[in-house]
Structure 1
Amino acid sequence: MKFRPTAVGYLRCDVSGAQQQWDEDQIRSVAKRMGYDLAKIVVVDGRGNERPLVGLKTTVTRLGAEAVFTASLAHFPGEDVPADLVRSVDVVTVSPENTYARAGASS
């Protein structure tokens, strides 16, 4: 049995809107193609939510995830990968497909 690292998906439903299911399908597809076991997709409504990433970070820690997949940078505040997130996991965007490698461990 081959080990596959755990990943978590992340979407803001206020950003995805009517294409939420498409975004979820794309996250699943890219995670599978990259060899991850996508354990869960965290979906939050960012409207009026001052801290939409709290649930994501809790889930990442609880599951011991190695990566977070999201549809695009638009799902993060300021359309930028949060520094505290990329310190602990790789962040992968689906569109455009890009990997932001974790910066936490130094040799």
Structure 2
Amino acid sequence: MTRPNVLGYLRRDIAGIHQQAIEPLMRSAAGDFGYSYTKTLALSDPFASERALIALVANLGVPAVIVPSLKHFGDGRPPEALMRLADVLVMEPRAKFTRIAPTGVS
């Protein structure tokens, strides 16, 4: 059975010198969550980075994103626009935020 893909996301300004150590941990955690790790998007600016992440998730159609911690989001929580596209997996503390179901079926 093929595992669904997950995109890694981290902010360089938060990961700092630990970025290279964090990426393999994200790959391992993705497997623990039942996903296949595809690649990492590593950016610095909190809000521009989130816009880039949301655009990439929309373009790739990945069903999930994994982050080292909620600190990697500008306001400490997954952006609603991202949650409409994908699940968000968090390594520390371990959590899974399930995608927001579309509303207003017509």
TM-score, structure 1 normalization: 0.87
Going from structure 1 to structure 2, the CA distance change for 1:50 and 1:67 (only over 3 Å counts) comes to closer
Number of the residue aligned with 1:8: 7
What residue ranges of structure 1 are gaps of 5+ in the alignment? none
What aligned pairs does 1:65-80 form with structure 2 within 5 A after superposition? Answer: 65-80=62-77
What aligned pairs does 1:46-61 form with structure 2 within 5 A after superposition? Answer: 46=45, 50-61=47-58
Contact 2:5 2:38 in 1 (8 A): yes
Residues 7-32 of structure 1, C-alpha deviations (whole Å, 9 max, x = no match): 10000000001111222121111101
For 1:104, the aligned partner's letter is A
For 1:62, the aligned partner's letter is N
Decide which moves more: 14-23 or 64-73: 14-23
SS in 1 for 2:85: coil
How much identity, in percent, do the aligned residues show?
33
TM-score, structure 2 normalization: 0.88
What CA RMSD, in Å, does the superposition of the two structures yield over aligned residues? 1.7
| 4+ residue runs over 3 A deviation | none
Contact 2:58 2:85 in 1 (8 A): no
Pick one of 87, 90, 96 that aligns with 1:90: 87
What residue ranges of structure 2 are gaps of 5+ in the alignment? none
Going from structure 1 to structure 2, the CA distance change for 1:18 and 1:67 (only over 3 Å counts) comes to same
For 1:39, the aligned partner's letter is T
Give the deviation of 1:50 after TM superposition. 4.5
